[in-house]
Structure 1
Amino acid sequence: SAVWSVEVSPEGIRIPTGSRFYIDNLYFQYQSDGTLKCETSGSIGNGNFAELPLLSLDNIPGLESVIFEELKIPGQEEEDDEALYERYLMRARREAVSANKAHYKKWAEEVEGVGRAKVFPLWNGEGTVKVVITDGNFDVATDLLVNKVQEYIDPVPGEGEGQAPIGATATVESAKWKDVEVSVSVELKMDYSLEDAQQEIEEKIKDLLKSLAFEENVIRMSAINDILYHADSVSDYADVLINGEAKNLPLQDIEIPRLGQVNVIEQA
């Protein structure tokens, strides 16, 4: 379920945990940490609600307004059969056992709101593990989500109070953005405009970059070329550049790609 931070007025007013609020046919419950959690699971709770007010369904003396601030944990749809099968295979093959790398990855991805996790053993000496996560949209995770994973895996370093064994110190962090710019000159197919090509290419590159998050450490020219080759609006293309260069763009281990500007120029 989606979790939002909110601005409450007047500041400091006490809102009982479990109080219910309403907007656009959706109900949200107030959590003990001061956030609102959507009662309907899935991406429907990720709507464009920022800065919109909610209607309180409970009588809360003195409450003037509750306004959405920021989507802290994006809601996710139920996993598909392929994802479920991959989790089954990991368990059946006993890949995630005895606090190995796969086990830390499994623990992190068990936390509601986490998309993917990457594990770095011995990152800061004997007994240390770093776990880097994305949110369910394969975007950079918020502090709220990072803290949830930290609490689940290792709330008190080395004490074995979470999933991590005694003596192991786990540090959970968010992935970092790597901004990506793409430029290309195109020859348009009949009945297509430059705006059509721009929109189509942007959408397909965004989908590509999402699929690469923590799965690949490089953005390949061949993948961009494949998008352009199969684009409905493009007859021919040339001069493809990724971040100003005609070569693959490597990603650091903790980086996930984010599409910035796409420059599509019509060939003369």
Structure 2
Amino acid sequence: MADSGFTRPTLPQLITTIRTDLITRFGADTALAALRRNDAEVYARVQAAAVHTVYGYIDYLARNLLPDLADENWLARHANMKRCPRKEATYAAGYVRWEVTIPGIVVPAGVTVQRDDLVSFTTTAAATSAGGVLRVPVVCDVAGSAGNTDDGLTMRLASPITGLTSAGLADTIEGGAETEDLEAWRARIIERWYWTPQGGADGDYEVWAKEVPGVTRAWTYRHWMGAGTVGVMVANSDLINPIPDDATVAAVQAHVEPLAPVAGADIYVFAPVPHVVDFRIRLTPDTEEIRYAVVAELRAMMLRDGVPEGTLKPSRISEAISIATGEYSHELLSPTTEVKIEKAEIGVVGDIAWT
């Protein structure tokens, strides 16, 4: 049962308790009452089973009455009460670009374009070549981060278009995010319990920013661009690249502005500057598996400690390395002094040299 100070009796304990109570009340002979087909034994087992089911339901309710232990369905009820719905997956969108020599080539809406890994995109509006360039807006057919595409990657037409080569290039295709992780959603709901909206206090901006898909962390800065302005810095919890793309930053700006006080200040939403920290480590034993485990622990440590205006201490770095699976001993050769993270920065693990 949820930690409430009450211990749920087991089924054998319930049978024994009810059997003893029945025998005592009937005044039956103890030896006779112990027979399997005795009425008291049958009553005890039937009633104990029923009571055990009731205890199970009470246990289920106790676990779900508060959001910290609630099942997913109950968590949705808590979220509705706090106006904190789960963030759905979003579709990456951007452009595919061709360099052409013929003006007037038209790519209509609804045309399918594919990456080399067969992730498909659909053009959302017609576009016509002009000035040697054809730039067509597209949206990914699959929701989630899989649609985010690095600039310059090859994008191929699924069907030929007269006068246009098959291969184009990705151009700022971003903004795709996965459905919000269950525990991240739970943390936002619990945050709503702790933080009562105050119509524009520091915490309000952070809560509003984290309502946007792709954002899990936010910081508020008063007078960011002068008196009467508010800065909101946003990031995600990706262990490799916690810096959100421009589309996500723009989505936060568009989401926060209508929620801010009517007479409020100018709002500036921005992504942090990555403070890249390189490491030199002498590891014992030194294997690929242990190196991988060390890298994973360093990235997890950076998520915890590499926050704005935080400090990365060598002892904390060594602790992270020490808890890596398989590590026996190590020597941290760099950094050997504290690393200061500035106000608009977050820490990112850079190159690791294995000495």
Deviations 1:57-97 (A, max 9, x none): 6x866554432245533x33322332212222233445333
Does residue 184 (structure 1) correspond to residue 287 (structure 2)? The answer is no
- Give identity over the alignment, percent: 22
- For the structure 1 residues 226 and 70, does the alpha-carbon distance in structure 2 shift closer, same or farther, using more than 3 Å as the test? farther
Which amino acid is 1:85 matched to? R
Q: Select the residue among 146, 161, 164 that pairs with 2:249.
A: 146
Does residue 52 (structure 1) correspond to residue 52 (structure 2)? The answer is no
Does residue 131 (structure 1) correspond to residue 232 (structure 2)? The answer is yes
Count of aligned positions: 249
For 1:217-232, what aligned pairs fall within 5 Å after superposition? Answer: 217-232=310-325
Give me the TM-score of the superposition, normalised by structure 2. Answer: 0.58
In structure 2, the residue corresponding to 1:258 is in which secondary structure?
Answer: strand
Match of 2:114 in 1: 22
Contact 2:150 2:173 (8 Å CA) reproduced: no
Deviations 1:196-232 (A, max 9, x none): 5444433432343245464882223233212322334
Match of 2:343 in 1: 253
CA distance in 1, matches of 2:244, 2:106: 28
CA distance in 1, matches of 2:301, 2:93: 26
Contact 2:307 2:347 (8 Å CA) reproduced: no
- Which structure exhibits the higher relative contact order, with contacts defined as CA atoms closer than 8 Å and separated by 6 or more residues? 1
In structure 2, the residue corresponding to 1:185 is in which secondary structure?
Answer: strand
Deviations 1:140-172 (A, max 9, x none): 333333333323333xxxxxxx32222321011
Give me the TM-score of the superposition, normalised by structure 1. Answer: 0.74
Match of 1:237 in 2: 330
Determine which structure has more spread, i.e. the larger CA radius of gyration.
Answer: 2
Match of 1:208 in 2: 301
In structure 1, the residue corresponding to 2:170 is in which secondary structure?
Answer: strand
Contact 1:5 1:72 (8 Å CA) reproduced: no
Deviations 1:221-267 (A, max 9, x none): 2332123223344321124422xxx23322112111122221222xx
The structure carrying a bigger strand percent of its residues is 1
For 1:5-20, what aligned pairs fall within 5 Å after superposition? Answer: 5-10=95-100, 15-16=107-108, 19-20=111-112
Greater Cα shift, 21-30 or 6-15:
6-15
CA distance in 2, matches of 1:250, 1:132: 18
Which amino acid is 2:119 matched to? L
In structure 2, the residue corresponding to 1:181 is in which secondary structure?
Answer: strand
In structure 1, the residue corresponding to 2:337 is in which secondary structure?
Answer: coil
In structure 1, the residue corresponding to 2:154 is in which secondary structure?
Answer: coil
Instruction: State the Cα distance separating 1:26 from its structure 2 match.
Output: 2.8
Contact 1:109 1:116 (8 Å CA) reproduced: yes
**How well do the aligned residues superpose, as a CA RMSD in angstroms?**
3.3
Unaligned residue ranges in structure 2 (runs of 5+): 1-90, 126-134
Instruction: State the Cα distance separating 1:117 from its structure 2 match.
Output: 1.8
Greater Cα shift, 48-57 or 92-101:
48-57
- For the structure 1 residues 4 and 240, does the alpha-carbon distance in structure 2 shift closer, same or farther, using more than 3 Å as the test? farther
Q: Select the residue among 174, 196, 200 that pairs with 1:72.
A: 174
Instruction: State the Cα distance separating 1:178 from its structure 2 match.
Output: 0.5
Match of 1:158 in 2: none
In structure 2, the residue corresponding to 1:205 is in which secondary structure?
Answer: helix
The structure carrying a bigger helix percent of its residues is 2
- For the structure 1 residues 61 and 131, does the alpha-carbon distance in structure 2 shift closer, same or farther, using more than 3 Å as the test? farther
CA distance in 2, matches of 1:136, 1:19: 34
Q: Select the residue among 208, 223, 237 that pairs with 1:122.
A: 223
Contact 1:118 1:214 (8 Å CA) reproduced: no
Contact 2:108 2:123 (8 Å CA) reproduced: yes
Contact 2:318 2:332 (8 Å CA) reproduced: no
CA distance in 1, matches of 2:95, 2:351: 29
Contact 1:15 1:60 (8 Å CA) reproduced: yes
- For the structure 1 residues 6 and 216, does the alpha-carbon distance in structure 2 shift closer, same or farther, using more than 3 Å as the test? farther
